[in-house]
Structure 1
Amino acid sequence: MLLDLFLTFLLIGFVSFGGGYAIIPMIQLEVERHGWMTSQELIDVIAVAGMSPGPIATNTAVFIGFHVAGFWGGATAALAMTLPSVLIVLLLASFFYKINEAPVVQSAFYGMRPIITALIIFAAFSFAQSNGLLAFTKDSLIGGLLFLLCLLALLKYKWHPMLVIVVAGGLGILLY
């Protein structure tokens, strides 16, 4: 089991780019393929991982590893998830100043931006669909309204994200 966790999260760490939210679809695919959690359990894990300090992808890996194999599963998943980044950063750091200005490198980074955005949007829709938020129920309409109010508070009124989280949590307690 530990070897499966290690190899799975090592692969995810090596082939995923764009930050934690862009990695979530790949984590979801692997968790479902291995049968480690139900879709609802994974949604709950991602929600907690997103609110926990640290990178969401690593936090998610730790929670999944812990769920599957206890303490050593969490430690194994964390190591496997972070090892590729550490290795890649160490390798690229020595060449960074030389390759950063190269036109082909700049072009590659510009080319990756749309796919990273698409992966983040895919993750949002995937989890909204799994959580029943795309159906028109009373709860989904309240959730949609809460989403719009939070977005408005962040974009127009420039509220601090922590304040929005606290207010949304309070409204969730009152409304649900």
Structure 2
Amino acid sequence: MADDVIIQINCKHFLKFVAHFRSAMSYLTLLSFFVTLFCLVARAQNEDPPVENTLLVFHKLPTQQTFSKRGEISFFDAGTVGRYASAQALTEKERKLLDTADGIYQVKVEEQKSGREVTSFVKSCLIEASNLKDEIIVHLDDANNFFHFDYYTEASICLGPVKVRPIEISLR
């Protein structure tokens, strides 16, 4: 009933606008505008609300045997930026484990609703060289289901320990 009242009010306003525009072209333009507006409103009311997807993020340091929870990524649709919530920061001891020359840092992403898991890795020294800055890009299929992720660190080369050696400089 309330929808009928709103439509009647809009029709009265429509008729007032039509009275101001006498030419047929203006009338058709105005009519097409209101029809388009009506269709957009009707379409928006029929759409399902977006569903929030959650991906669990796990990681494994070079000497660890099992993955531990690193955080969660939440998003609504493909093409949107997700939110990342960290579970806990690395301890100083864990951070030192990253600074090994041949160590591998593994990241696993698991879709909560399907249980699908995908794993990626980088040299652990890249994480340390990036000062723990990394990026996860999530790929979804046409139905917004998770199927892959890309994992990057800010650094592309590992920083080894700096070796200082004395040199002699003679000034003349």
Higher helix share: 1
Q: Which has the higher contact order (CA 8 A, sep 6+)?
A: 1
* Bin of the TM-score, shorter chain as denominator length: under 0.3
Higher strand share: 2
TM-score in terms of structure 1 length: 0.18
Q: Please identify the structure whose Cα radius of gyration is greater.
A: 2
